[in-house]
Amino acid sequence: MVSACLAAPSLSQTLSARAQLTPPERGDTLVTFASDDFNTNPINIRIPFVVRGAKNTGKIALTYDDGPTPGVTDFILEQLAAHRSKATFFVIGQRVRAFPKLAQTIVEQGHEIANHSYTHPDLSKLQDGAVANEIEKTQKTIEDICGVTPHYFRPPYGAFRATQGALARAQHVQVIIWSIDPQDWRRPGAEIISQRITAPSSGGDIILCHDLHFQTAAASRIFIPHLAKNFSLVTLSNLLRGQHS
């Protein structure tokens, strides 16, 4: 939901707050990685959530969460097409219902569409049945409207418990986090967003953006051509092919 995203604190703030409010049960570890941890120590994870692809492949996966959003998603699609680049869109199920043509356009243009829940709740606070429903309802909505079955799922706010990974696995979606987070949802300005994304990289990164506010679309017009000079911008399936089953 738009309001939920606007009000969202940083990932690390979210996670520390969650830890205080709902101490994990034994054996149920809340994801506690801030995006900085992903960048510096992405291998040190004990849960099967993907944070990046292999380095030195010349590939980067650009991902956009929370859409589709008329006036934003379509502008980003134009930038991607202009630079022969692909991206992955983690859509919210109820927004796919609201804007079906835009969701279809994402797929028609060769981009990947993925699952970001139906109503964008904090899944780490929900019961298993409700979490499974959020994932399944979105899978079915995307299948109905776009004619494809998503392979990937990203929990809203990155808030997910280790044991909830099994709920995603049961629905044949892999949990994807990210390795670069420009905090674009805070709307720091298109130039700042772009600078944070175009920092030196060895490739393999999964970049988190949001096709929710036009500022991110304006930033995309800056950073997509810059990234495309040095890397192939590919879908997650392309980046992760053969690495994760």
- Residue ranges that bind Zn ion, judged by CB under 5 A: 65-66, 156
Nearer to Zn ion, 65 or 211 (CB): 65
Give Cα 91 distance to the centre of its chain. 9
Could you say which of 181, 210, 211, 213 is catalytic? 210
Q: How far is the CB of 8 from Zn ion (least distance, A)?
A: 7
Nearer to Zn ion, 174 or 231 (CB): 174
Is there a contact between 151 and 115 (Cβ–Cβ < 8 Å)? Answer: no
Q: Any residues with CB less than 8 A from the CB of 132 and at least 6 apart, and which?
A: 167, 170, 171
Nearer to Zn ion, 53 or 156 (CB): 156
Nearer to Zn ion, 66 or 211 (CB): 66
Could you say which of 65, 66, 205, 211 is catalytic? 65
Q: How far is the CB of 212 from Zn ion (least distance, A)?
A: 8
Q: How far is the CB of 124 from Zn ion (least distance, A)?
A: 14
Q: How far is the CB of 6 from Zn ion (least distance, A)?
A: 11
Is there a contact between 89 and 114 (Cβ–Cβ < 8 Å)? Answer: yes
Q: At what angle do helices 73-82 and 214-230 cross, to 10 degrees?
A: 20
210 included as an active-site residue? yes
Region for residue 36 given its phi and psi (left: phi exceeds 0; alpha: psi -120 to 50; beta: otherwise): alpha
CA–CA separation, 136 and 171 (whole Å)? 7
Q: Any residues with CB less than 8 A from the CB of 87 and at least 6 apart, and which?
A: 61, 62, 63, 64, 76, 80, 111, 112, 233, 235
Looking at residue 244, the DSSP 8-state letter turns out to be: -
Positions marked active-site: 65, 210
